[in-house]
Amino acid sequence: MLSDPEKKARYDQYGTVDFDGSGFGSGGFGGFDFGDMGGFGDIFESFFGGGGGSSRRRNGPVKGADIEYTLNLTFEEAIFGVEKEITINRNENCEECHGSGAKPGTSPKTCPTCNGSGQVRVQRQTPLGSFVSTSTCSTCGGKGTVVDSPCSSCSGRGKTRKTRKITINVPAGVDTGNVMPLRGQGEHGSNDGPPGDLYVRINVAKSKHFDRRGNDIYIDTHISMGKAALGVEITVPTVDGDVKYTIPAGTQSGTMFRLKGKGVPKVHSSARGDQYVKVIVDIPKTLTSKQKEALEAFMEACGESVDGEITHKKKGFKDIFK
């Protein structure tokens, strides 16, 4: 339609491409069901009071509201999984009246105003013609029933506020932003409607030692220039405990080593990510006279001198320290 200039112009002006000059669309007003028009239905309801002729019933089963809960975990709890007990508050069906709102031994009666439909129809005359609209029954509030003898426990509401403890099994590998849905653990429904759901949103605290990126873990380790040049065995912390790792001679600062399978478990899987160890070679900011002499000797062995002159006698780094 938008690619056709004539149809687009017609739509921009009249809101439809079927306009034939006789009214709103080829069928005039009769071509619209204001109760099924979304935003237009809301506009007509504000003017004429009701759903614009909609016959939708509002006293049918209604699902209970969902509940959202934020669960805070430590870094280690998220890595390995944990069992947690949480406390929530929710609206539940009254235990005395079982959600009916009526005193035990009695029952709700059909609303005499709307005859159980929960809605009343009103005909109004407007400048645009005669409209039949529907609105929520003011007598029963749209329930379709009224209670003559309300339940003393819930004051006729049919619901009471309860505090419940729920045990949650958090799987290994969860991360901040993950949401665990617990079906049927939300608030109870109305008119025999099903209960809502409980959505547990995960929030994981940062680790002092590890940097998590997805299912991989990153860590920095610092070594001296001598160890980087000669090679050294170091102790590397992992989430499973310390492990030994040999850094080869000549390792440069910024080199990254991988510890396979030492990362974060993948949720509901036996697979795990990896841990990456970044080597940082520390350059001393101050030197003792002995350290300075040793470095100058090393430079001379490499064909360098402090004053910039080049010598031709070279020795290996290991020979210098021998």
Domain ranges (residues) in the chain: 67-108+147-204, 211-282
Q: What does R_g of the chain's alpha carbons equal in angstroms?
A: 37
pLDDT in tens, 172-182: 999 999 999 99
Q: Which residues are annotated as a binding site?
A: 94, 97, 111, 114, 137, 140, 151, 154
User: Is residue 29 over pLDDT 60?
Assistant: no
The topology (CATH level 3) of 67-108+147-204 is HSP40/DNAj peptide-binding domain (2.60.260)
pTM of this prediction exceeds 0.85: no
At 18 the pLDDT is 52
Tell me the pLDDT band of 14, cut-offs 50, 70 and 90: very low
- Mean pLDDT, rounded, for 177-197: 93
Q: Do domains 67-108+147-204 and 211-282 have the same CATH topology?
A: yes
User: Is residue 55 over pLDDT 70?
Assistant: no
Q: Which residues are annotated as a binding site for Zn(2+)?
A: 94, 97, 111, 114, 137, 140, 151, 154
User: Is residue 83 over pLDDT 90?
Assistant: yes
Q: Nearest to residue 261, comparing CAs of 212, 216, 210? A: 216
pLDDT in tens, 216-260: 999 999 999 999 999 999 999 999 999 999 999 999 999 999 999
**CATH superfamily label, 211-282:** Urease metallochaperone UreE, N-terminal domain (2.60.260.20)
